[in-house]
Structure 1
Amino acid sequence: MIARYVLTSTCLSSGTMNLTQSLRVFLQGKDRIALRDEEGEIYDGIVNWRQNRLEGLAPYYAKRRLNVNDKIALHLEGDEIGLEALTPTAKSARPRATEVERSRPQLPEPTPEKTEKRIKVTPYPKEVIFPHKPVASEAPAFSADLEALGFSRESGSAPWVFRAALGRRTFHLALAKFGEMDAKELLAYRQQGRVQYAAIVAGESSKPEALAEIAAVRPSGLVQMGLGFVSPEALQRLVKLRTAFPVGPLDVERLLREGRIDLESIQGLEREISAVLRERSHFSAVLTLLAEMPPQQVFLLADLMPMAREMYLEADHLQQVLESLSNPPFLLLKRLSPGEFLMRQSVEQTLADWVEYAEVMARRLQGVLQDK
């Protein structure tokens, strides 16, 4: 299996790659992976799932002298990833002289009979030779945040176009920094049907000025005009949320439909995620209550309520978790009658069984994906 990756300034400065969809599938269940370059040299790659990136590539980038927008072919094979720089300018750094070479006597170099005169020629800039071809710019900082949220960048200059591939659905987003591109141009780009969404990117401190420019294009409202506002601070907050909950392109699209992605607009999403995380904490609290109960013991919901209230658990929360623990794949409890349960085995043994089940499934899925 072969994948391709386009380097960004963030990748080069941190010696990393973002975990694209193909990399996530290949690296499923792995924390480390061997990286082999064109000359057979091996690097130790670390899979940082929390920050959604593959680390340990700095020596390879330096060796091949790679730059922004250079491409790398990734050969995903077995227990290693083959690296192949797809740019003619990438070459290995000259090896340092060995101790033996330094100890050899230095013979005088022969004097050339004729001295050639070298003339330095300064080439014309690309924009002079090819005035019709836009020159690629360095990707903006918000590009890395969108890539971490599941988008892929498809342009090398403004407007910065990002693609969200969601299986049976795909949508494109065009962004331009405030002052980098006129709002009318960006709106026209959107109205030509090239992308589904377009927005101006500006910091929270510059939001009033950016919104005024957007409103001047068509004062009927952000949502109707198809042109919105995005702040880098909000994107960074979404990336941070992703470490606790799988935020993705669909969550971003819902905000785009409302016309804004700023710190104020994402508060609703933060509340939803907090509610989900509270449900998970309820689940953990109930397991803590059941951990003191021996196997094969019958109990009532009411038996747990005094301790549950000390953990700020209401009866409906407790009932919901107990019902879940009675169903596959948990099967910790057996429901005998409404509000009455049998403790099948200890919580400790059940947790060990869940770990074993997860590991078996991970190995099975890895085998299935490798066969494809």
Structure 2
Amino acid sequence: MKILVTGAAGFIGAALSQALCARGDRVIGLDNLNDYYPVSLKRDRLARVAEAAGEAFRFVECDFSDEAALDRALEGERFTAIVHLGAQAGVRYSLENPRAYARSNLTGHLNILELARERGIGHLVYASSSSVYGGNEKVPFSVDDRVDHPFSLYAATKKADELMSESYAHLYRLPQTGLRFFTVYGPWGRPDMMPWIFTSKILNGEPIPVFNHGKMQRDFTFIDDIVRGIVACLDKAPADDGAAKPGGSVAPHAIYNIGNNRPEELMHVIGIIEEACGRKAQIDMHPMQKGDVPRTFADIDAIARDHGFAPQTTAEEGFPHFVAWFKRYHGIG
């Protein structure tokens, strides 16, 4: 297949692009290389993909929230599927720069839907988020749970994306799969996320900020497991058969949780990172931050049943892999 991957310079997008090329697909990787975090890391990811994939990977720098720029960038290109991972990420940053989320996550998602509709794409897989569950007290979180009370603008935009996708699946019978990611981590991860922040500060002898006084649980999911799950979903579009799909749609639109199905206590994970770093953390306790939630826990029965998804990497295995990569990337002995 020839596949368009948006957010190709991002953490998940780069890993997915490399995996798709490795199995024989061709990938057009699209990213605007914004400076939400250092562009040098994004370029390093792209260089790694290009080195491994060769001519199977072509990168296009473009802001997909700009309709005219998107049309120009992809003029004459043909592809059979889209994996739309590009977005303005981060719960806390949405409190500081809300309009960036409206541009990228709302207008940008609409532009990708229109692109898929106009090109007659056979399957659009897009990134949603576990953040849509807000303060859901019922665990594990199920795709059949109501998600009407987002705790952040980021979460609200991701729920809006799901609703826009449902309308396009209904109106135009556009096959789509939405994936609610649960705290993805691993080598080449994002500097604004906990594993990077804590590892960096522990290695530098700086205090780490621990919110809600450490009473947090996260369904941490290793990048290799996430990529396998995306590929499995990409290869099997929802049928337009009138049957109800995960998430409740009777159009060709399925929504799945994609997580580890094993929430970890934050303090336990800190202990794993400490051991991998070879030194103890200085812990600076804080109250809960606005927009954050105390616990995430993915019910993955639907994606396991429909796509054979079975996460394989425990926190005890995954976090040392991340710390080892972090040290290599920064030249730390």
TM-score higher than 0.5 here?
Answer: no
TM-score (norm 2): 0.26
Q: Which has the higher strand share?
A: 1
Q: Which has the greater radius of gyration?
A: 1
Greater RCO between the two (CA within 8 Å, min separation 6)?
Answer: 2
Query: What is the TM-score normalised by the length of structure 1?
Result: 0.24
